[in-house]
């Protein structure tokens, strides 16, 4: 008889749900995709019903059919059993969420934040044996890890004699073999001052600099994109290395004492902000290389799994691969908090006897595939013109070669922050003018932010300095010098690109589109950016796609085999 496991991320940002059936991930979705509120999370009175119902509807089951629920919540009030009782009364006795929330009526396993991250990376990786590094802004408080959450982290702390001091998870190291994950070290920020306890971690370091530069600590991607424009003239001095590892300087945050500026004022201080971005990026890279070298020395393992928000720093990921002894590294596409639900579900799979590790994770397309009937109904409701194509890849490749901007919507949505060819906006990469037109007409992003290429995997070494796969767009590498002028639209100011490698087995129709384009132009790659406008979540439904198309200057919208025009 089939077993269903529901994984939940109940964070105050980027909450999500994932449903596993037996040894296969059926579906996963972030709350923001359904509510259309960027980084939408949970709070008292705002449980993530949307993501849960989406997963249950996809499988055609009810909550009563779920064998085990595994959840993580990042803040203490979400880790308090009394919180579940509060939510139960808020939702009402007949709401299906009562069965999730009331832990006495349904099997619910709560696990720690970093343990969920560890499962999300290792169990999706191709490795049987690997080291795992989880590193982010903050995980769970040590009291909660020891007294509320279950699983390997709790056992490790109790057996080691650790005494909780009110610190928060900032770095966890594990080893894994044959599906069994074993903690080997955990570091908590345990300062007596509440705010100081948060600044002594790499995630918070990057968050605070992003807050200072952009007025939003979640704009780490913008900070990473700005860094190559900077010089080493604005030393941060946040981290120093020690024999034990590293230490944070208590004084570094005092540099960031000015309020966020207006756009005009910001432009006047571009050089300063770029220099600060350069410095925080450099300190992050040096620190993680130092840390990963130490992990390799301690474990002697060839493979490394990364997870946590810091693992989305694709520049650092490549530096780790280049400058540590690890032969290969794996980063899950949803390395940040949205991926927690997958880690929770995979922990549930392990708890219900899922050994050895049998997952084969080919792609990140974990959303629902909408039927032709649903697509046509949405288009008709929009009032836009449409027709069905006889050969969608060939026809769209022709439009791309004519400098058209294409919104491309196919099958199930990607899970995580990257658009990987199912919810993408596409254009040629052969001119800077095309890139700038895309930004000015559609994306409305800062001009210093680069766009990424999707390249047929077999041709990636011809265009980029790479001998590795990068299916989830989580590695930045150098563009070959003789190709920079061929595809200037995806080349950053430092001569790099954040590459997605594409294969027919893993990417299906998206690979076939790029192949058709290559046959027309001789260029086996296209520019790929997420199907959304700045500040909004990536589109999920056909209606979302149509609304975004109508509000922008995208030339053509493609949904399945249908071509829509204004």
**41 vs 100: CA distance, rounded Å:** 17
Distances (CA, A) of 339 to 79, 331, 412: 19, 11, 17
Contact present, 397 and 513 (Cβ < 8 Å): yes
Phi then psi dihedrals of residue 68, to 5 deg: -155, 135
- Residue 299 phi, psi (nearest 5): -100, -30
Question: Could you give the dihedral angle defined by the CA atoms of residues 415, 528, 379 and 363, in that order, rounded to the nearest 10 degrees?
Answer: -30
Give Cβ neighbours of residue 271 (< 8 Å, ≥ 6 apart): 230, 231
The pairing of strands 500-502 and 452-456 is parallel
Contact between 423 and 413 (Cβ < 8 Å): yes
Spatial separation of the C-alpha atoms in residues 12 and 488, rounded to whole Å: 39
pLDDT of 215: 87
Measure CA 484 to chain center: 28
Domain range list for the chain: 4-110+335-351, 124-330, 372-565
CB atoms within 10 A of CB 87: 22
Paired tokens of 451: 């766009």
pLDDT at 94 (0 to 100): 32
Distance CA 249, CA 239 (A): 6
d(C-alpha 122, C-alpha 172), whole Å: 14
What is the distance between the alpha carbons of residues 529 and 456, in angstroms, rounded to a whole number? 16
Question: Distance between CA 173 and CA 156 in Å, rounded?
Answer: 12
Q: Is the dihedral of CA 209, 211, 213, 214 positive or negative?
A: positive
Q: Residue 500: in which H helix or E strand, if any? A: strand 500-502
Contact 170, 203 (CB under 8 A): yes
Q: Are 249 and 476 within 8 A, CB to CB?
A: no
Quote the tokens at residue 41. Answer: 């999370």
What the block records as the tokens of 282 is: 């450099």
Burial class of residue 559 (count of CB atoms within 10 Å of its CB; 0-12, 13-18, 19+):
buried
| 356: its two tokens | 């050895």
Give, rounded to a whole angstrom, the gap between the first and last alpha carbons of the chain.
Answer: 50
| Beta-carbon count within 10 A of 294 CB | 18
What is the edge-to-edge ordering of all strands in the sheet holding 16-21?
Answer: 24-30, 16-21, 4-9, 68-72, 108-110
Query: In the beta sheet, which residues pair with residue 20?
Result: 5, 25
For domain 372-565, the CATH architecture is: Alpha-Beta Complex (3.90)
| Interatomic CA distance for residues 325 and 255, integer angstroms | 35
Residues recorded for the chain: 566
To the nearest 10°, report the CA torsion of 393, 398, 400, 405.
Answer: -90
- What's the topology of domain 4-110+335-351? Nucleotidyltransferase; domain 5 (3.30.420)
pLDDT of residue 238: 87
pLDDT tens, N- to C-terminus, the chain (566 residues): 789 999 999 888 999 999 999 889 999 999 999 999 999 988 766 776 899 999 999 999 988 899 999 999 854 444 444 444 433 433 333 333 343 444 335 678 889 999 999 999 999 999 999 999 999 988 988 888 988 888 999 999 999 999 988 888 999 999 999 999 999 999 987 644 444 444 578 888 899 899 889 988 899 999 999 999 998 876 788 888 877 678 887 677 777 776 666 667 888 889 989 999 999 999 999 999 999 999 999 999 999 999 999 999 999 999 999 999 999 999 999 999 999 999 999 999 999 887 677 766 889 999 999 999 999 999 999 999 999 999 999 999 999 999 999 999 999 999 999 999 999 999 999 999 999 999 988 988 888 999 999 999 999 999 999 999 999 999 999 999 999 999 999 999 999 999 999 999 999 999 999 999 999 999 999 999 999 998 899 999 999 999 999 999 999 999 999 999 99
Q: How far is CA 176 from the centre of its chain?
A: 22
Half-sphere exposure (Cβ direction) of 372: Cα atoms closer than 13 Å: 6
Looking at the DSSP bridge assignments, the partners of residue 239 are 248
Q: What is the pLDDT of residue 195?
A: 41
Q: Please state, in angstroms and rounded to a whole number, the distance separating the CA atoms of residues 423 and 365.
A: 10
Q: Which runs of consecutive H residues, i.e. helices, occur in 508-560?
A: 509-521, 542-550
Task: For domain 124-330, say whether CATH 3.30.420.40 is its number.
Answer: yes
Residue with the two structure tokens 């770029």: 274
Domain 4-110+335-351 matches domain 124-330 at the CATH topology level: yes
The edge-to-edge listing of strands for the beta sheet with 556-559 is 385-388, 562-565, 556-559, 406-409, 423-427, 525-530, 452-456, 500-502
Which letter does DSSP use for residue 370 in this model? Answer: P
Vertex 111, ends 118 and 8: CA angle to 5°? 90
């Amino acid at each position: 008889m089939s077993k269903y496991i529901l994984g939940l991320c109940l964070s105050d940002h980027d909450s999500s749900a994932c449903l596993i059936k037996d040894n296969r991930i059926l579906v996963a979705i972030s709350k923001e995709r359904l509510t259309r509120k960027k980084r939408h999370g949970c709070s008292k009175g705002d449980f993530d019903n949307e993501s849960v119902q989406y997963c249950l509807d996809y499988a055609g089951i009810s909550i009563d059919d779920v064998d085990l629920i595994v959840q993580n919540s990042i803040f203490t009030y979400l880790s308090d059993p009394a919180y579940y009782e509060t939510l139960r009364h808020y939702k009402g006795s007949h709401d299906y969420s009562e069965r999730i929330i009331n832990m006495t009526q349904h099997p619910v396993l709560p696990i720690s934040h970093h343990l969920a991250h560890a499962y999300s990376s290792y169990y999706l990786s191709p490795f049987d044996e690997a080291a795992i590094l989880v590193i982010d802004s903050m995980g769970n408080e040590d009291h909660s890890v020891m007294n509320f959450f279950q699983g390997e982290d709790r056992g490790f702390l109790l057996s080691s004699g650790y005494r909780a001091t009110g610190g928060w998870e900032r770095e966890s190291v594990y080893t894994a073999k044959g599906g069994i994950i074993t903690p080997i070290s955990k570091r908590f920020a345990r300062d007596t001052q509440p705010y100081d306890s948060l600044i002594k971690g790499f995630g918070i370091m990057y968050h605070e600099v992003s807050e200072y530069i952009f007025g939003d600590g979640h704009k780490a991607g913008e900070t990473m994109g700005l860094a190559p424009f900077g010089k080493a003239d604005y030393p941060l001095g946040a981290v120093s290395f020690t024999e034990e590892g590293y230490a944070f300087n208590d004084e570094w945050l005092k540099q960031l004492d000015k309020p966020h500026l207006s756009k005009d004022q910001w432009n006047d201080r571009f050089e300063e902000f770029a220099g600060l971005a350069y410095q925080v990026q450099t300190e992050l890279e040096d620190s993680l290389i130092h840390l990963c070298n130490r992990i390799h020395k301690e474990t002697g393992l060839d493979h490394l799994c990364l997870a946590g928000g810091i693992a989305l720093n694709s520049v650092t990921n490549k530096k780790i691969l280049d400058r540590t002894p690890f032969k290969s590294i794996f980063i899950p596409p949803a390395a940040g908090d949205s991926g927690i639900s997958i880690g929770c579900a995979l922990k549930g799979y392990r708890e219900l006897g899922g050994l050895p590790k049998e997952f084969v994770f080919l792609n990140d397309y974990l959303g629902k595939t909408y039927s032709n009937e649903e697509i046509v109904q949405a288009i008709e409701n929009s009032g836009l013109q449409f027709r069905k194509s006889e050969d969608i890849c060939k026809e769209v490749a022709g439009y791309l070669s004519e400098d058209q901007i294409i919104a491309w919507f196919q099958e199930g949505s990607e899970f995580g922050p990257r658009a990987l060819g199912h919810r993408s906006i596409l254009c040629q990469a052969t001119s800077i003018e095309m890139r700038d037109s895309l930004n000015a007409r559609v994306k409305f992003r800062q001009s210093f932010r680069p766009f990424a290429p999707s390249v047929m995997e077999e041709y990636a070494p011809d265009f980029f300095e790479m001998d590795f796969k990068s299916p989830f767009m989580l590695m930045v590498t150098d563009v070959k010098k003789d190709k920079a002028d061929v595809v200037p639209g995806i080349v950053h100011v430092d001569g790099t690109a954040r590459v997605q490698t594409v294969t027919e087995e893993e990417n299906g129709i998206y690979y076939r589109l790029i192949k058709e384009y290559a046959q027309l132009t001789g260029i086996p790659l296209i520019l790929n950016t997420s199907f959304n406008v700045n500040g909004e979540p990536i589109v999920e439904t056909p209606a979302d796609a149509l609304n975004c198309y109508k509000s922008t200057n995208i030339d053509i919208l493609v949904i399945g085999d249908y071509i829509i025009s204004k």
